[in-house]
Chains A and B, each alone.
Chain A
Amino acid sequence: MQCKNHADVSALGPCVVCTEPFCSHCLVELDGQNYCGTCKSLAIQGRPLPEVVTIPCVEAREALACAIFGVFCLAIILGPVAILKAIRAKNLIAADPRLTGSGKAIAALIISVICLLLTLLAMIKIFSP
C-alpha cells in the first residue's frame, strides 16, 4: 500500500477519519490515533481553545468591574449598568467563537442582582412605616 500523497513511499497506516493510507510524514498522532493533515481538525472539535486564539471581551470586564464597585457604593446605579453590560457581553460572546469572558459576565450578573436585591430590601425597610 502506497501513501496517498507520496506515490513512491509505502504507507505506515490509515487515517482514522478518512481511512486512506498515509506515510509517517503525512500522519500526525493525536491522543494515540493517527490523523492525516486534512482530517486532523476533526480531532480538536469541541475542545477548549488555546489562549493565543482568544480575544478577551471588554464588555464582560467592564460589567464585572461595575458589579464589584457597586458592592461598596451606588449599587442602585451601578447594578443595572453592570447587568446591561453583562447581557451585552453574553450576546457578543455567543456571536464570536474567539471572545472569552463568559465567566466574568455571569459573575457580574450574579453579584449585581444580589446587591440590587439587598439594596431594594434595605430601601423597603427604611421607607416602610
Chain B
Amino acid sequence: MRLIESTLPYSLRDIKCSRHPEVSAVLRCQACSKPLCETCDFCLFGEVHVCPDCALGRDYRLSQKRRNMLVWSFIMAVIATVTLKITMSGAFADLARAGRDAELLRKLIGIIIFGPSAIGTGLSIGTLDHRLTNPGVIWVAVAWNSLLFAAFAVIAAIGTFMR
C-alpha cells in the first residue's frame, strides 16, 4: 500500500513512524493509534492495521468488558465463600433441626451459595478465550469459582441420595 503525501489524513502530515524516526508514517495503529510506516504495518483479518507491539501482544490490557466480567466473578466468589463459611459454621443448624421450613432452607442455601458460585464460574471461564491473551488472574478466578461450584454440586448430589 503506497500513499501519496497529499492523500494522507491531516493527522499524519509530517508525522514519523514510531519505530523508524526517519520514515514518514502512512497510517495509525487501530489499537493504540501509534503512527506507522509501511514496514511496521501489520494488516490482519478484515483490513485491520496494527503496530508491531499490538500484533505481538505487548502491553496487553484486558478490555473493559472482560475486566468487568472478571471483577464480577471475583465478587461472586467472595459472596459464595462467605455464605458457605456461614452455613458450615452452623448458623442454620437450629432451623434444620427444628425440621420445619426444610424446603425454605434448601432454597435459601441454593440461592446464596449455588447461585453466586455458578454465576462466578460462568463469568470467569467466560473471560478466558484461547484467541486472546489470558493473564494469570483470570485463572485464579476460574480455579476459585469452579472449586466452590464443584464442591456444591458434589454436596447437592450426596444430599439428594444419602438422606
Hey, which chain B residues are within 8 Å of A48, CB to CB?
A: 57, 60, 131-134
Q: Is B54 an interface residue (CB 8 A)?
A: yes
Question: With an 8 A cutoff between CB atoms, is B12 at the interface?
Answer: no
CB of B114 within 8 Å of the partner chain: yes
A92 interface residue per 8 A CB criterion = no
> A5 to nearest B CB, angstroms?
9
Cβ distance B46 to chain A, nearest Cβ, rounded Å: 6
Q: A53 CA to B54 CA in the complex, in Å?
A: 11
Q: How far is the CA of A29 from the CA of B52 in the complex (A)?
A: 8
A74 at the interface (CB under 8 A from B): no
Specify the chain A residue showing the minimal Cβ separation from B65.
Answer: A56
- A72 within 8 Å of B by Cβ? yes
| A110 & B44 in contact (Cβ 8 Å cutoff) | no
Chain B residues with Cβ under 8 A from A36's Cβ? Answer: 39
B156 touches A118 (CB 8 A): yes
Residues from chain A with a CB closer than 8 A to the CB of B131 are: 48-49, 54, 97, 100, 102
Our pick among B54, B119, B128 for the contact of A50 (Cβ within 8 Å) is B54
> Are the C-beta atoms of B125 and A52 separated by less than 8 Å?
no
Q: Does A4 contact B (CB under 8 A)?
A: no
- Cβ-defined contact, A122 with B160, below 8 A: yes
Interface size class of B (residues with CB under 8 A): 35 or more
Asked if A53 and B44 make an inter-chain contact with CB atoms under 8 angstroms apart, the answer reads: yes
Instruction: From the candidates B39, B132, B160, name the one contacting A100 in the complex (CB within 8 A).
Output: B132
Assess the A50–B50 pair: CB atoms within 8 A: yes
- B contact residues around A64 at 8 Å (CB): 122, 126
Whether A107 pairs with B133 at a CB distance below 8 angstroms is no
A85 an interface residue at 8 Å Cβ cutoff? no
Q: Is the pair A30, B129 in contact by a Cβ cutoff of 8 Å?
A: no
**B31 part of interface (Cβ distance < 8 Å):** yes
- The CA-CA distance from A83 to B84 in the complex, in Å, is 28
Residues 46-61 (chain A) with a chain B CB within 8 angstroms: 47-54, 56, 60
B125 near A106 with CB under 8 A, answer yes
Contact of B52 among A28, A68, A111, A117 (CB under 8 A): A28
Q: State the Cβ distance, B57 to closest chain A Cβ, in Å.
A: 5
A29-46 vs B: 1/0 string, CB under 8 Å?
111000011001101100
16 contacts between A and B (CB under 8 A): A25-B22, A25-B39, A28-B52, A29-B52, A31-B56, A36-B39, A44-B42, A50-B44, A53-B44, A72-B111, A72-B115, A98-B45, A98-B46, A100-B129, A102-B130, A104-B122
Interface residues of A (CB under 8 A from B): 24-31, 36-37, 40-41, 43-44, 47-54, 56, 60, 64, 67-68, 71-72, 97-98, 100-104, 106-108, 110-111, 114-115, 117-118, 121-122, 125
Q: Across chains A and B, which 4 residue pairs bring their CB atoms closest together, nearest first?
A: A107-B125, A103-B128, A104-B126, A71-B118
